[in-house]
Every structure is written in structure tokens, then in C-alpha cells.
Amino acid sequence: MSLIGKSVIGIDEFGNGGLRLENLPEEFRRVGEKFPLIVTGYLERRYTHATYGSEKFGSKKSRRFFGSKTDLSEVLRASRHYLTEHPNFLYMVIPHSRLILPDYLSIRAEAAVCLALRFIYEYKLDPNNTVLLTHEINGKKNSGIVHNLISAWFDSFLLPIKHFSKDGKAEERNPSLKAADMIGYYLGALKLFGDHQNWPHRQKKTELNQLLEYSHLISF
């Protein structure tokens, strides 16, 4: 299926697996151990083509924030620039305690659907012209389960949104997945090294219990 001209929502996740706890300064390890899962969505309004290479602050290779020599001023500078240049994002925070439950795959599917519904509502997207891309979650088997759950939610709301699960290399080529990946990385850095009490960009933060609320707000 061609994505050209469509509204593409990319969904990716960032959790304590990306923190590399053994490399963190001692004072941040305790916070990192119970760090929640950040589910980030980014909207590409009119998809044009795959991208190659990295824009400014768009690569983790040169932004090694989660290490023993983290420079907080660099975290703030890079994240502010990237988030300003990529404003079409929303995110959700899932507590670490909920990720060990038997239904954690259902929670991840609901998070992706909730973010997609908020994008459709706030950006007035046409569901017929909207595609949801999710990054592969813990292997193909789990990703397949999540894909089926997401599709079932859209079917229950009578929304004709197409959903595809992409492998690890997809975020290197697809701008919406790549942006979602980097935004989650920057939000995680801001939370861990900045304000431990409050999440950044609170107006962009979405709650899992808003899923049905946004489904009722969408008239299709």
C-alpha cells in the first residue's frame, strides 16, 4: 500500500530498556529502574517519501544522553530544538507496574489506538486517508497480537484506518516512525534528568482512560 499523500501516524515506545541503567550516574539509577513506558505518536500530515540520513539532533548516535557523563544543558538544548521542529506529537505514559501484567500487550494496543483517535480528533483527519504505523513490539509474534488488537478496536469504532506493524529498520526510513522514536527519547531524557515530578509538554500528554472519550468525539 502506498503512503503517498496520506496522513501517517507513527507510534513508537521508549522505556527503561533504552536507559542502559548500568551506564547511568548513580543518583539516576533508582529512578531509571522503575521508569515508565513512553508511547509516542507523531503525525506526518501529507506523506511524501521515505527519508534517509539524519536531520539536526535527529540521531541517537550523537546524542548519548543516558550515560555516565550526561550534560543536562545539552539534553535541554537538543530536546527543545527537536521538539520545536516536530510539534505534531502526542504521548502517553504507562507506569512500570502495568507492564508486568498478563494483559500488557492489550495495554500497548489501547495506547496506540488512543493516541491515533486523539490525532484524528484534534487534527481533523479523514479516517479514510489515515494510516497507523507501529514499531515492532518484542518480536513478530507479540507484534502480530498487538496488530490484531488494534484492528479490532478500529473495527469496533467503525473506523477504516489501516494499520501496519513495521520492523526495526522501518524507523530509519519512515519519517513518522523516526520522529516518534526520537521524541520518546528526548521526553525520557527530559523527565529523567530534569523535573522528576512533572512531565514535559503536558498539553501533549494523553491518558489511557481517554480512549472511549475520543472515540465518542469522532463523528464518522
Q: Which tens digits make up the pLDDT trace of 171-191?
A: 556 889 989 988 998 898 888
For 144, the enclosing helix (H) or strand (E) is helix 139-156
pLDDT of 46 over the 80 cut: no
Q: What is the pLDDT of residue 52?
A: 42
Q: Do 160 and 127 meet the contact criterion of CB atoms below 8 Å apart?
A: yes
**Taking the model in full, what pTM does it have?**
0.85
pLDDT of 210 over the 90 cut: yes
φ, ψ of residue 162 to 5 degrees: the values are: -85, 140
Partnered with residue 43 across adjacent β-strands are: 9
Lowest mean pLDDT among 68-72, 134-138, 149-153: 68-72
Partnered with residue 41 across adjacent β-strands are: 11, 90
- Residue type for 109, please? A
Only one residue has cell 530534569, namely 194
Give which of 7, 4, 1 is closest to 131, Cα–Cα: 7
The set of residues, in sequence order, having a beta carbon less than 8 Å from that of 79 and lying 6+ positions away, is 57, 186, 187, 189, 190, 200
The domain ranges of the chain are: 7-217
Q: Looking only at Cα atoms, what is the longest distance across the chain?
A: 51
Q: What is the pLDDT of residue 143?
A: 86
Q: Do 187 and 38 meet the contact criterion of CB atoms below 8 Å apart?
A: yes
pLDDT of 116 over the 60 cut: yes
Give which of 64, 67, 18, 70 is closest to 40, Cα–Cα: 18
pLDDT of 169 over the 70 cut: no
Rounded to an integer, the average pLDDT of 91-108 is 85
Q: How confident is the model at residue 4 (pLDDT cuts 50, 70, 90)?
A: confident
166 vs 11: CA distance, rounded Å? 10
Q: What is the pLDDT of residue 206?
A: 97
Rounded to an integer, the average pLDDT of 120-132 is 94
Q: What pLDDT digit, counting tens, does each position of 133-142 carry?
A: 998 877 788 8
Rounded to an integer, the average pLDDT of 88-113 is 89
Q: What is the pLDDT of residue 53?
A: 42
- Residue type for 180, please? A
Q: What pLDDT digit, counting tens, does each position of 6-45 carry?
A: 899 999 988 755 555 555 555 555 655 667 889 999 999 8
Q: Which fold has domain 7-217?
A: Nucleotidyltransferase; domain 5 (3.30.420)
